[in-house]
Amino acid sequence: MNLEKADMATTIDQLRHMAASVRAGMLDPGRSTLVGDERNPRFELFHAASSLCSQKVRTVLHEKRLSWRSNDMVILCAMGADGVIAAEHYNPAYVRLRLIAGREMGQALVSGYSGRTSVETEGFDPCAVPLLIDYEAGRVIADSKRICCYLDEISREPVQLLPVVAQARAEVMRQVSIVDQLPNAALLYGFHPDADRRPESLKSVMETVYDYKVTALQALAANNAGDAELVAAYQAKIAKENGGKRVCHNAEFQRAARQTASDLLRELDRSLSGQSFPYLNGHEFSLADVAWGVNLIRMAYLGLASLWNDLPNVERYFEALTERPSLCREAIGASIESLPPSDYFVGLKDCSMN
Ligand SMILES: N[C@@H](CCC(=O)N[C@@H](CS)C(=O)NCC(=O)O)C(=O)O
């Protein structure tokens, strides 16, 4: 074995070891499963059924018909008999794995809260899902947008989600970047002063979510005081979550977030009416459709489909996307299975068995 090969073998061994530690920290081993036919798949994903960013990655894996090891993590903290139980993606073993991906990206850690989760504008969140390991390349990759692009690049069959033609590709990436600027966290966690249509049980979880997160993260920072990198990661996350807490009942902030979503949907409607936008105009399914599909489905779940009441192109687009088996399974089915029932989701086909 030459030196390069030996280094790679060591890296892969280390990744396997680290991933096993994360799995060992998960409460229910039944949430680690194999998807597809391979017993030792090339990819391993740490994700959550309910997470929007994870739904994007799973939709791509589904479209590509790839085999992968799935680790469906608990990403909410809970109150136990002895205090707050930390979410599984706050576990030091997981954060260490994520920091490897963060170093590769060269992004500063997140330092505050805007209601958006784009790594490019907000910084790198070291305590978030999803996270992909590619055991063949010896790489750990974070951020749903990067993971989706990576998977498309290394696996071109049976569908290619990024067009080869430069102009079409640029338009798909433009749409993916627009979606990345949606204030998703604000829409899910925030209390809207006028029409908050989230399920009551979800609202009740959101009343305590930030306090539980911060309490758990502070304890983890204290328990790992000897590891400066880990402490910095937890402090960054604490700053973000404290920021979220400050604005979750702020009427002005919440109205602005919904307005941003509404403006971006209006822009989408205009793009859809032009010929440039692929799927609705009879072209190939693309990464733009994955990103919009998952986000429109989430908005529908939150009772926000009313935002496209007067946007007929978005309405048609939404209908078409909900018929796509990958989105039907990974966004609609997974949301039905993992989130409280929503009155605004009725009528959407649950494809969880597909
Ligand atoms: N830009 C990142 C955002 C990651 C992110 O915010 N993930 C959310 C789920 S969609 C998460 O982990 N939430 C739980 C938490 O922040 O504690 C991506 O697209 O992967």
- Residue 268, in any domain of the structure: yes
**pLDDT at residue number 246:** 98
The whole-chain average pLDDT of the chain stands at 94
51 and 115 housed in the same domain: yes
237 and 139 housed in the same domain: no
Give the model confidence (pLDDT) of 6-47 as tens digits.
888 889 999 999 999 999 999 999 999 999 999 999 999 999
275 and 199 housed in the same domain: yes
pLDDT grade for 348, boundaries at 50, 70 and 90: confident
- Residue 175, in any domain of the structure: no
pTM of the predicted structure, to 2 decimals: 0.96
- Residue 167, in any domain of the structure: no
pLDDT grade for 273, boundaries at 50, 70 and 90: confident
Of 129, 162, 195, which residue constitutes the final position of a domain? 162
Distance 130 CA to ligand 1 centre (A): 7
Strand partners, 34: 69
Range of the domain at 299: 184-345
Number of compact structural domains in the chain: 2
Question: Which residue type occupies 235?
Answer: Q
**pLDDT at residue number 89:** 98
Distance 53 CA to ligand 1 centre (A): 6
145 and 239 housed in the same domain: no
Of 115, 132, 162, which residue constitutes the final position of a domain? 162
Distance 51 CA to ligand 1 centre (A): 7
Query: Closest Cα to atom 13, ligand 1: which residue?
Result: 128
The arithmetic mean of pLDDT across residues 237-264, rounded, is 98
> Taking CB atoms and a 6 Å cutoff, what residues make up the pocket around ligand 1?
51-53, 75, 87, 117-119, 125, 127-130, 143-145
Task: List all residues 6 or more positions away from 345 whose beta carbon is below 8 Å from its beta carbon.
Answer: 300, 301, 332, 335, 336
Q: Whole-angstrom Cα distance, residue 151 to residue 138? A: 14
Q: Is 277 a residue whose pLDDT tops 70?
A: no
The ligand 1 atom at the shortest distance from the C-alpha of residue 48 is 9
95 and 198 housed in the same domain: no
215 and 145 housed in the same domain: no
Nearest to 131 by CA among 188, 222, 200, 70: 70
192 and 106 housed in the same domain: no
- Beta strands of the chain (E only): which ranges? 32-35, 43-47, 68-72, 78-80, 83-85, 131-134, 139-142
- Residue 103, in any domain of the structure: yes
Angle between helices 287-301 and 166-180 (to 10 degrees): 20
- Residue 111, in any domain of the structure: yes
> Looking at per-residue confidence, does 352 or 336 come out higher?
336
Distance 312 CA to ligand 1 centre (A): 30
Which residue among 76, 107, 125 is best mutated to probe the pocket of ligand 1, counting the most ligand atoms within 8 A of its Cβ? 125
Q: Is 92 a residue whose pLDDT tops 80?
A: yes
25 and 150 housed in the same domain: yes
pLDDT grade for 353, boundaries at 50, 70 and 90: low
**pLDDT at residue number 278:** 60
Cβ contact 92:220 at 8 Å: yes
332 and 193 housed in the same domain: yes
Give the model confidence (pLDDT) of 196-214 as tens digits.
999 999 999 999 999 999 9
**pLDDT at residue number 8:** 86
Q: Is 354 a residue whose pLDDT tops 70?
A: no
Q: What is the CATH number of the domain that holds 82?
A: 3.40.30.10
- Residue 11, in any domain of the structure: yes
- Residue 176, in any domain of the structure: no
Q: Is 264 a residue whose pLDDT tops 70?
A: yes
273 and 341 housed in the same domain: yes
Q: Is 53 a residue whose pLDDT tops 70?
A: yes
Query: Closest Cα to atom 15, ligand 1: which residue?
Result: 128
Q: How far is CA 293 from CA 170, 287, 322, in A?
A: 19, 10, 7
228 and 335 housed in the same domain: yes
Least confident span in 4-18, 195-209, 253-267, 269-283: 269-283
> Looking at per-residue confidence, does 339 or 281 come out higher?
339
Rg of the chain (C-alpha set): 20
Cβ contact 286:160 at 8 Å: no
The ligand 1 atom at the shortest distance from the C-alpha of residue 75 is 14
Give the model confidence (pLDDT) of 151-188 as tens digits.
999 999 899 999 999 998 999 999 999 999 999 999 99
Give the model confidence (pLDDT) of 228-239 as tens digits.
999 999 999 999
- Residue 179, in any domain of the structure: no
289 and 336 housed in the same domain: yes
